[in-house]
Amino acid sequence: MRLALDPPVDPLAYSFAHRVRVRFAETDAMGIVHHAAYLPYLEEARVSWLRAMGHPYTETRTDGVDFSVVEAWVRYRKPLRFDDVVDVHVAMGARTPTTFQLGYLLRVDDVVCATGVTVHGAVTTAGRPTRLPGWMAEIDLASF
Amino acid sequence: MRLALDPPVDPLAYSFAHRVRVRFAETDAMGIVHHAAYLPYLEEARVSWLRAMGHPYTETRTDGVDFSVVEAWVRYRKPLRFDDVVDVHVAMGARTPTTFQLGYLLRVDDVVCATGVTVHGAVTTAGRPTRLPGWMAEIDLASF
Amino acid sequence: MRLALDPPVDPLAYSFAHRVRVRFAETDAMGIVHHAAYLPYLEEARVSWLRAMGHPYTETRTDGVDFSVVEAWVRYRKPLRFDDVVDVHVAMGARTPTTFQLGYLLRVDDVVCATGVTVHGAVTTAGRPTRLPGWMAEIDLASF
Amino acid sequence: MRLALDPPVDPLAYSFAHRVRVRFAETDAMGIVHHAAYLPYLEEARVSWLRAMGHPYTETRTDGVDFSVVEAWVRYRKPLRFDDVVDVHVAMGARTPTTFQLGYLLRVDDVVCATGVTVHGAVTTAGRPTRLPGWMAEIDLASF
């Protein structure tokens, strides 16, 4: 599966949004949020999306399935700053029998700050690839 | 500038290598290094590369130039684990007058564990784009 | 000022509470939240407390005052786990003209998981000690 | 066991030292190292000390023993900054049959920057307290 590098900047293209507030610990000496701190924002939004879909990640893990991260990409457009309230929009953009791709749009007060994509593989607790859960194979895909 | 997504897996394609050892703090409940922890590895290798080139990042920053991160991408191939000693290979793969792109190869005991790319823009302390330092404009580019 | 090491485990002793949810990124290979991840929880609760007091930290910083961390202490009683919803209780326990001490109680579903204390000094942007803001010098102190 | 809050500032009082270099990712918007980033420095020094003692933590964990963190305390004396090379001195300061206490001294160019203490309990993989490994029960204790 090819990593998509153009997730849309229109929030209407996304089915879900999760809000995070920037911690001081996430800033760096440039006075902005450090680039590595975005990946936990995407992860928190992803976990929130799973919960909203009725399939919390804790349950999935209890069932013996993990979603390992195969690729991650972020494009930093405008800096995030301490105490910013960030809307992280999420949508599923592509899928194979054992992997899926999520796109993300990060906005502060309706201003586009970043886009990102993560690619995940369903794996057993032993780390072997396995099929996506049934509910996930039926989600409507966003167009990117 | 287009993000390259195929940095080579041959260490000979890279001009520099930096070694890091995995901290326990960087692992997660899957028992492996968390995917967000790779970006600081790339950053540490980048800073080490600048130092080896005779242009430590602290000096560049004192001169009023920062290298902001515009894009970051990682492909996770084999998990890293606690206490692993990781060789992070670095090379410059592309360049414009104000931006540059670095490729990375992460290996443990000669086994390929991850590849990555970061795109950087030279900016003034006020955050405005500026030309790359002269020495950087003259580096031989790796072929990716 | 002497660091207090016995913040109460009774939530009624605290004037404020802030809720955080554990991120997967904050877990480690022991399957629990890594001990270093607690300090950002305390910080997030502290920032939330400042906001609730009507004096957001962003404003204080704009006014040229930072609250540097002079000491931090945490006692880990029961592990926190991924996706736990943690109530972080906060209270001011001691104060000098230029420093203050906050106590914290962390609970999940009413079970005590950790206690902590941070000591802060008011400093100018140049890093020199300065008097606490007036409103802070008038807060009722909790008894520890 | 009572947490000691006065580890010595004389490096000769410590039996071991480990060197770390500050990452940019560890700084914050005050331009200094974020206070939560010190705990991974202590941990890295602790793991390095175990290795130097001939008992790498990976082996201890393979043997089914973990050293959980029961308490952690840091006193921040002088800020650490990006690219600082930090000597983290380590010594064991107290011990019971199932727990031990380590003291730390952090210096940059012989200047004292921080002191810290961590208290650890030996636990089985099931999380139950267990006796310290034999070699650890025989270490000469530092006087604090």
Any domain includes D3: no
| pLDDT mean over A95-112 | 97
- pLDDT of the residue at A15: 92
Closest by Cβ to B72, choosing from A35, A66, A70: A35
Where in the sequence is the domain holding D113, given as residue range(s)? 11-136
- Is residue B141 a contact partner of residue B95, using CB atoms and an 8 Å limit? yes
**pLDDT exceeds 90 at position B13:** yes
Which token pair is A120? 């995940």
| pLDDT mean over B11-24 | 97
Which token pair is A142? 């966003």
Q: What's the domain count of chain A? A: 1
Contacts of C72 in chain D (CB under 8 A): 35, 73-74, 76
Cβ of D24 within 8 Å of Cβ of A32? The answer is no
| Residue of C6, C10, C28, C63 marked active site | C28
Closest by Cβ to D47, choosing from B24, B39, B58: B24
Any domain includes A1: no
Any domain includes C6: no
Contacts of C23 in chain B (CB under 8 A): none
D59 contact B CB<8A = no
- pTM for the whole structure: 0.97
| pLDDT mean over C107-131 | 95
Any domain includes B126: yes
Cα separation of D94 and A25, whole Å? 32
C71 contact A CB<8A = no
Question: Nearest C-alpha of chain B: how many angstroms from C84?
Answer: 14
Closest by Cβ to B71, choosing from A36, A68, A76: A76
- In DSSP terms, D87 is beta-bridged to D19, D107
Rg (CA), chain A: 15
Written as one string, the DSSP assignment of C23-40 is -GGGB-TTSSB-GGGHHH
**pLDDT exceeds 80 at position D116:** yes
| pLDDT mean over D8-24 | 97
Q: Chain-centre distance of CA D141, in angstroms?
A: 14
Contacts of D72 in chain C (CB under 8 A): 35, 73-74, 76
| pLDDT mean over A18-42 | 97
CATH label of the domain that carries residue A31: 3.10.129.10
pLDDT in tens, D50-59: 999 999 999 9
Which chains pack against C, by 3+ Cβ pairs within 8 A?
A: A, B, D
Contacts of D32 in chain A (CB under 8 A): 29
Contacts of C39 in chain A (CB under 8 A): 25
Any domain includes B61: yes
DSSP letter at B129?
A: B
pLDDT in tens, B28-69: 999 999 999 999 999 999 999 999 999 999 999 898 999 999
- Is residue D36 a contact partner of residue C73, using CB atoms and an 8 Å limit? no
ipTM: 0.95
B28 is known as an active-site residue: yes
C83 contact A CB<8A = yes
Any domain includes B70: yes
User: Which residue, C36, A141, C128, is CA-closest to D116?
Assistant: C36
| Residue of B6, B10, B28, B83 marked active site | B28
Contacts of B73 in chain A (CB under 8 A): 3, 71-74
Cα separation of B33 and B86, whole Å? 12
Question: Nearest C-alpha of chain C: how many angstroms from D124?
Answer: 11
B83 contact C CB<8A = no
Closest by Cβ to D71, choosing from C40, C69, C74: C74
- pLDDT of the residue at D127: 84
Any domain includes D142: no
- pLDDT of the residue at A5: 76
Q: Write a three-state SS string for chain D.
A: CCCCCCCCCCHHHCCEEEEEECCHHHECCCCCECHHHHHHHHHHHHHHHHHHCCCCHHHHHHCCEEEEEEEEEEEECCCCCCCCEEEEEEEEEEECCCEEEEEEEEEECCEEEEEEEEEEEEEECCCCECCCCHHHHHCCCCCC
- pLDDT of the residue at D5: 76
Which residue does chain C place closest to D38, by CA atoms? C36
Cβ of D28 within 8 Å of Cβ of A32? The answer is no
User: Which residue, A59, A38, A46, is CA-closest to A93?
Assistant: A46
Cβ of B35 within 8 Å of Cβ of A72? The answer is yes
- Is residue A42 a contact partner of residue A115, using CB atoms and an 8 Å limit? no
Strands B65-76 and B111-124 come out as: antiparallel
- Is residue C35 a contact partner of residue C132, using CB atoms and an 8 Å limit? no
| Residue of D6, D10, D28, D63 marked active site | D28
D108 contact B CB<8A = no
For D135, the 3-state DSSP assignment is helix
Closest by Cβ to D43, choosing from B24, B43, B57: B24
Q: How confident is the model at residue B2 (pLDDT cuts 50, 70, 90)?
A: low
Any domain includes D114: yes
Amino acid C3 reads: L
Q: How confident is the model at residue D1 (pLDDT cuts 50, 70, 90)?
A: low
Residue D95 φ/ψ region, left for φ over 0, alpha for ψ in the -120 to 50 degree band, beta for the rest: beta
